[in-house]
């Protein structure tokens, strides 16, 4: 049976939608090419066809009917025996069509095709509740006797899905569940589409570009008067906010960015909260947070609020200290007395970068020459090859855009050559009009050992073609961590493949992967991968490491604010999303800026699957940092340790409990010491109810 509702993935937002659709039994077989269309060699790969609007619309209804017929055939069997295998077959039948739809909606160059993908996904959403409200399927799963722990875990997940979709509710409530789930998907699509299609631009004069790199300025579009037009994409926004000297220009651009999505998205968020609250009430739950968390590692809102309280206390002093440093830097630059200077929200990125240049001699823009884009990609591949015993082989295939690249992934043989086929990976790395604006991993096919099914995924980013700064190198490794979590999955059931794990664990493997951007042992690989590139010296790497925790107070405090807002928004009676944000942000040291509405662009908690779950970015960081600590001390490229991590964590997907996976890998109980050190808090033994005690996980402060 397709995946249960929720997670980069994802991340990543892609993980959330895929798990929702697959939970509906809607994974998509129609988009897969027939066997004859696959490559002529013996590799058992399945590639994505380059579809158009007509191809999607023409198959959408037929695939829905096909899924319903298969469902009916499974329902007709009376005996519980074989039901898990039957549902696994349903996932295989349907996944190839639905799996790519979110990627299509976010990356295809043609608007009509993107719209058709959105429309088809929405058309299938009623099937979610329909599938999990089936009494016949429920009885077969309920009465099934598991043969082992893997069967038992899948059966438990399925029963949770039946319960969450109202199988035990009266008929009228079941119908309402189905209607509310369809409404949530439609509202979420509207929210995301408004962000994707926001065409807001900010005009800057040539003088307001002072401080920005020549290559950045040269690439900007200009109007008839010679002024430049900046859009709200990260490749334009982040460098400007970090390097533009004009405070007024930064203020105007920051304000426009904080209004992305507009007031209509605030109203959509209010409707999403109200709808989720009503859904929870149908199950007798007081609010959506209580409803959602009962399936996660934390279990209850009280555990999350306790965790956030610990984090809040730990980061408060750090945030104030960071702001004080930025204030001093601003006073020096402006030549003003300290008491005449205030740090504003549009100042933080600029003065953070300035302090890094002045105090640590770290200039992110200057680092691009050390991390040329091609070498950075080779770096990510080499790390994963070395740790996990793999070989990546690039193939020329037809894809949705000329920039897109494809790699076969193989297990390495004893002599280092490609052996057994493992997975396929697409890379869509560079910005273009109407493309998804952030970085994300899109799972397209899951693994299933009994079906001989190999994973397929896509990495989507918006990198500079000439080179990456260090932040972007870290982002590359983070998102590639999601990709490899999917690619290395070796599970029995498709619904538990890859990143189909508990929402508050899904970020841990990708956050751990960031560690390889920081260590001398791994960074030394660039000398092998790019002979003509300048190489970072030991002293430069030391400066990077010294600067690593500067600004952590502000960054973690921001993540804490996002998580606190999300939890309060979905706890208790619905509140106005805009007013709540204004109040919470207004209580922070930097305050709230009037007439800005950040939640209008907070896609994670609106449509990205992190509703009452954004705390997971902090929660999973406990596990990520604890696991990463085992690789330090000369073991960053240790293949034996990497293989153990692959076997105990990455290959297991969602078929094993996260706490058990991590502790089997560590060979000891989980510790929160590395997390507390990251926060700059005193390290003490984990208390009952703490993240370490609960076996939780969290995510990177730099990636909202």
Indicate which residues carry an active-site annotation.
479
Buried b vs exposed e over 128-163: b needs ≥16 C-beta within 10 Å? bbbbbbbeebbbbbeebeeeeebbebbbebbbebbb
Alpha carbon of residue 55 to chain centroid: 29
Under 8 Å between Cβ of 627 and 650? no
Classify residue 446 as exposed, middle or buried by CB count within 10 Å of its CB (0-12, 13-18, 19+): buried
Joined together, the tokens standing for residue 237 give 């926004």
Q: How far apart are CA 431 and CA 233, in angstroms?
A: 9
Q: How far apart are CA 437 and CA 399, in angstroms?
A: 19
Q: How far apart are CA 650 and CA 642, in angstroms?
A: 10
Q: How far apart are CA 310 and CA 325, in angstroms?
A: 24
The neighbouring-strand residues paired with 222 are 228
What is the C-alpha R_g of the chain? 24
Give the CB-side neighbour count of residue 369, counting CA atoms within 13 A.
8
Joined together, the tokens standing for residue 408 give 């076969």
Residue 628 Rama label (left phi>0; alpha psi -120 to 50; beta): alpha
**Which alpha helices (DSSP H) does 587-638 contain, by range?**
603-606, 616-629
Please count the other Cβ atoms lying within 10 Å of the Cβ belonging to residue 492: 22
Joined together, the tokens standing for residue 266 give 């605030």
Q: How far apart are CA 594 and CA 583, in angstroms?
A: 11
Buried b vs exposed e over 274-286: b needs ≥16 C-beta within 10 Å? ebbbebbebbebe
Which are the contacts of 352, defined by CB distance < 8 A and separation ≥ 6?
242, 326, 550, 551, 554
**Which single residue is written with the structure tokens 């390097």?**
243
Size (the chain), residues: 704
Biggest distance spanned by C-alpha atoms of the chain: 81
For the beta sheet containing 418-428, the strands, ordered from the edge strand earlier in sequence to the opposite edge, are 390-395, 405-412, 418-428, 456-460, 440-445
Q: How far apart are CA 418 and CA 410, in angstroms?
A: 5
Taking each helix axis from N to C end, the angle separating 301-334 and 552-569, rounded to the nearest 10 degrees, works out to 140
Under 8 Å between Cβ of 451 and 418? no
Q: How far are the Cα atoms of 174, 180, 182, 282, 524 from residue 169, in angstroms, in the given order?
A: 6, 14, 18, 8, 59
Instruction: Return the SS3 of 11.
Output: strand
The neighbouring-strand residues paired with 12 are 9
Q: How far apart are CA 467 and CA 24, in angstroms?
A: 41
Instruction: Return the SS3 of 685.
Output: coil
């Amino acid at each position: 049976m397709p995946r249960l509702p929720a997670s980069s993935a994802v991340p990543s937002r892609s993980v959330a939608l895929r798990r929702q659709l697959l939970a509906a039994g809607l994974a998509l077989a129609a988009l897969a090419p027939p066997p004859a269309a696959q490559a002529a060699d013996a590799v058992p790969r399945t590639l994505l066809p380059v579809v158009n609007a007509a191809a999607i619309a023409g198959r959408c209804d037929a695939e829905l009917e096909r899924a319903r017929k298969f469902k009916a055939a499974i329902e007709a069997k009376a005996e519980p025996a074989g039901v898990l295998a039957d549902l696994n077959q349903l996932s295989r039948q349907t996944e190839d069509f639905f799996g790519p739809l979110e990627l299509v909606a976010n990356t295809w160059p043609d608007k009509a095709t993107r719209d058709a993908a959105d429309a088809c996904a929405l058309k299938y959403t009623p099937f979610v509740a329909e599938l999990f409200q089936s009494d016949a399927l429920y009885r077969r799963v309920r009465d099934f006797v598991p043969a082992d722990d893997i069967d038992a875990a899948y059966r438990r997940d399925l029963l949770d899905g039946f319960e969450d979709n109202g199988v035990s509710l009266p008929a009228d409530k079941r119908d309402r569940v189905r209607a509310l789930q369809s409404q949530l998907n439609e509202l979420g699509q509207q929210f995301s589409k408004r962000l994707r299609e926001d065409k807001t631009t900010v005009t800057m004069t040539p003088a307001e570009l002072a401080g920005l790199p020549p290559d950045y300025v040269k690439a900007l579009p200009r109007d008839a008067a010679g002024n430049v037009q900046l859009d709200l994409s990260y490749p334009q926004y982040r460098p400007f906010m970090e390097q533009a000297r004009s405070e007024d220009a930064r203020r105007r651009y920051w304000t426009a960015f904080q209004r992305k999505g507009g007031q209509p998205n605030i109203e959509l968020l209010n409707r999403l909260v109200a709808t989720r609250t009503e859904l929870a009430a149908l199950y007798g739950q007081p609010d959506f947070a209580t409803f959602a968390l009962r399936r996660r590692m934390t279990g209850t809102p009280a555990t999350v609020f306790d965790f956030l309280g610990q984090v809040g206390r730990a980061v408060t002093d750090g945030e104030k200290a960071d702001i004080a440093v930025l204030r001093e830097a601003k006073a020096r630059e402006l030549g003003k007395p300290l008491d005449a200077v205030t740090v504003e929200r549009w100042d933080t990125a600029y003065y953070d970068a300035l302090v890094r240049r002045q105090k640590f001699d770290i200039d992110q823009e200057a680092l691009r020459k050390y991390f040329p884009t091609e070498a950075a990609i080779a770096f990510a591949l080499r790390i994963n090859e070395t740790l996990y015993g793999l070989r990546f082989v690039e193939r020329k295939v037809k894809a949705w855009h000329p920039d897109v690249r494809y790699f076969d992934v193989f297990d390495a043989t004893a002599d280092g050559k490609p052996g057994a086929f493992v997975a396929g990976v697409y890379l869509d790395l560079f910005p273009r009009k109407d493309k998804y604006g952030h970085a994300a991993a899109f799972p397209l096919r899951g693994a299933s050992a009994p079906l001989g099914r190999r994973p397929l995924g896509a990495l989507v980013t918006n990198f500079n073609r000439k080179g990456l700064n260090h932040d972007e190198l870290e982002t590359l490794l983070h998102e590639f961590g999601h990709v490899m979590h999917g690619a290395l999955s070796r599970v029995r059931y498709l619904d538990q493949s890859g990143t189909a794990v508990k929402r508050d664990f899904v970020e841990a493997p990708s956050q751990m992967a960031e560690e390889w951007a920081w260590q001398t042992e791994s960074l030394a690989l660039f000398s092998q991968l790019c002979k003509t590139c300048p190489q970072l010296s030991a002293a430069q790497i030391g400066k990077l490491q010294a600067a690593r925790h500067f600004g952590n107070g502000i960054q973690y405090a921001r993540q804490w604010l996002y998580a606190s807002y999300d939890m309060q928004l979905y706890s208790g009676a619905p509140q106005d999303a805009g007013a709540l944000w204004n109040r919470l942000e207004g209580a922070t040291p930097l305050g709230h800026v009037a007439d800005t509405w950040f939640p209008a662009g907070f896609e994670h908690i609106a449509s990205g699957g992190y509703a009452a779950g954004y705390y997971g970015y902090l929660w999973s960081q406990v596990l990520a940092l604890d696991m990463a600590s085992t690789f330090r001390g000369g073991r960053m490229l240790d293949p034996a340790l990497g293989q153990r991590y692959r076997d105990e964590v990455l290959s297991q997907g969602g078929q094993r409990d996260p706490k058990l996976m991590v502790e089997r890998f560590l060979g000891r109980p989980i510790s929160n010491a590395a997390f507390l050190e990251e926060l700059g808090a005193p390290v003490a033994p984990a208390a009952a109810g703490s993240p370490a005690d609960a076996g939780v996980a969290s995510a990177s402060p730099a990636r909202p």
